[in-house]
Amino acid sequence: MFKYSKQLCHNFKSIIVRKWIFGLTLQTTTRLYNSSAFNSVHPIKKLDNGLSLKFFEEEHKFHFVWLRDHCRCDKCFNTVTQQRQVDTHQIPLDIQPKNVSVESNNLKIEWSDGHTSNYESSWLQSNHYGQSYSSNLISDIQRKYWGKDILDNMPDTCTFQTFLTDEKSLLKSLENIANYGFTVISDTPTELESISSIAKTIGFARVSLYGDIWSVTNQDANETLVHQDSAWLNVALNGHTDGTYLTDSPGLQMFHCHEHTGEGGETLIVDAIGAAVQLKASHPEAFHFLSNTNIPSRYHEPGFNGRILAPIIKTHPHTNEIVQVRINGDDRDILSCLPYDDVEKFYESLHHFVSILRDESSELWFKLTPGNVLIVNNWRVLHGRSSFTGKRTMTGCYVNQEEYLSKIRLLRKKYYGIPC
């Protein structure tokens, strides 16, 4: 039989007479997260299958099965591994409490299966239903969209040694990537190991068909290419993202110029998510088509065959935010998977999008010189180059999106107190 305790009623009175302040402070140099400032919790109503709880002036509902599934006691949740230990399948769907009370600002539930659960009011308020969730964005960081005018106000660079040895400088560089989609590391030794050291500072280099750390020196067109990719030639490359033919495209991509003895070879980067935002505003029908239509991509060489169907613009399934642009005209496969009526829609939509991407105001061109490493978010920023003469050697690597996101979250928690 369900009942509310006298202690619960006593706590309800204390809520009325107290004044509480919810503390989540964001400052320019210091960010603090105050978990102790949450108000007490008051179960104001028992529902057929759950509780309706009141926090400050907010009211949130929780199902009994959800509460039992999310018990944080040491029998149900391992605080070391941060993993659930209760078997959800063994919880009766119609589980009911025998008693509910509030003790020391915590919700206590004695269950019909004999188990007792305690929930901190701050935890319940932080984890109520219906909240925005995105694994691709980092809490309060907002993207800053840009075009070629950013050349006059480039994000601060970080030296190679500082990046490797000073975590706060590392965090600033990672926040540049979160804000702008790219950052630059200066004074980097022109050695293959340098790129590896940068990658290891973030997480680890991703192994791909090009290896973990790759080195590209241009070859003549009549030579047998190391890889059947235009990057090994001296031709111009339009702005594109890498790995459009992979299920999980590379997250971060690094470029380090070791040597160039000729002319040309300027680097191009474009804020593709910023361009997608423009497309959504100017041509919503084109945005809808490119974000809801799977387009084939393919890469083939001896020993590897990558093929995939995926939209050019990827939106988050929960928040509808744009999380990725995957576009590479060179690697787009034969367009035989669309119905007749969609083919013209594809070309029209692609034309609108590429017109924004290749507008002069969108393209940032600069010369990447030896010692400077460019790191781009391959899910957001297109990269390309102009044609060139002479010998040109570039090294680089990929880092998974998960490694980058993990590192920035952990550092923001360590130095700003922002929970992961």
Quote the mean pLDDT of the chain. Answer: 86
Side-chain-side CA neighbours of 125 within 13 Å: the count stands at 21
Round to whole Å and give the CA distance between 75 and 38: 26
Fold assignment, 6-126? NE0471 N-terminal domain-like (3.30.2020)
What is the percent of the chain with per-residue pLDDT over 90, rounded to a whole number? 69
Q: Nearest CA to 167 among 175, 179, 178?
A: 175
Q: Quick check: 18 pLDDT over 70?
A: no
Q: Let me know if 265 is exposed, middle or buried by CB neighbors in 10 A (0-12, 13-18, 19+).
A: buried
pLDDT of the residue at 230: 76
The one-letter amino acid at 317:
P
Report residue 11's pLDDT band, with 50, 70 and 90 as the boundaries: very low
At 301, the pLDDT band (50, 70, 90 cuts) reads: confident
**Residue 126, pLDDT above cutoff 50:** yes
Look at the alpha carbons of 246, 248, 249, 252 in this order and tell me if their dihedral is positive or negative.
negative
Going from the C-alpha of 365 to that of each of 150, 258, 261, the distances in angstroms are 11, 19, 19
pLDDT in the model for residue 381 = 98
Distance CA 215, CA 186 (A): 19
DSSP state of 85: -
Of 130-134, 299-303, 353-357, the poorest mean pLDDT is in: 130-134
20 pLDDT above the threshold of 50: no
Q: Write down the pLDDT at residue 25.
A: 22
Mean pLDDT of the region 285-292 = 98
Position 139 scores a pLDDT of 63
**Predicted pLDDT of residue 41:** 54
Q: What are the tens digits of pLDDT across the range 177-224?
A: 999 999 999 999 999 999 999 999 999 999 988 889 998 888 776 677
Query: What is the structure's pLDDT at 229?
Result: 76
What is the residue extent of each domain of the chain?
A: 6-126, 148-416
C-alpha 125/C-alpha 58 separation (Å) is 9
Least confident of 71-80, 104-113, 187-196, 199-208: 104-113
Q: What 3-state DSSP class applies to 17?
A: helix
Q: What pLDDT does 135 receive? A: 62
Tell me if residue 325 falls in helix, strand or coil. strand
Contact 315, 237 (CB under 8 A): no
- pLDDT value of position 218: 81
Residues in Cβ contact with 393 at an 8 Å cutoff, skipping those fewer than 6 apart: 215, 216, 217, 257, 258, 259, 260
Comparing CA positions, the residue from 196, 177, 188, 187 lying closest to residue 397 is 196
CATH of 148-416, picked from 1.20.1440.230, 3.60.130.10, 3.40.50.970, 3.30.530.20, is: 3.60.130.10
> What pLDDT score was predicted for residue 293?
98
Per-residue pLDDT at 165 exceeds 80: yes
Looking at per-residue pLDDT, the higher value among 26 and 147 belongs to: 147
270-287 tens-digit pLDDT: 999 999 999 999 999 999
Q: 115: which 2 tokens?
A: 């188990």
Mean pLDDT lowest for which of 222-226, 294-298, 320-324, 334-338? Answer: 222-226
Residue 206's pLDDT is: 94
Does residue 23 register a pLDDT over 80?
A: no
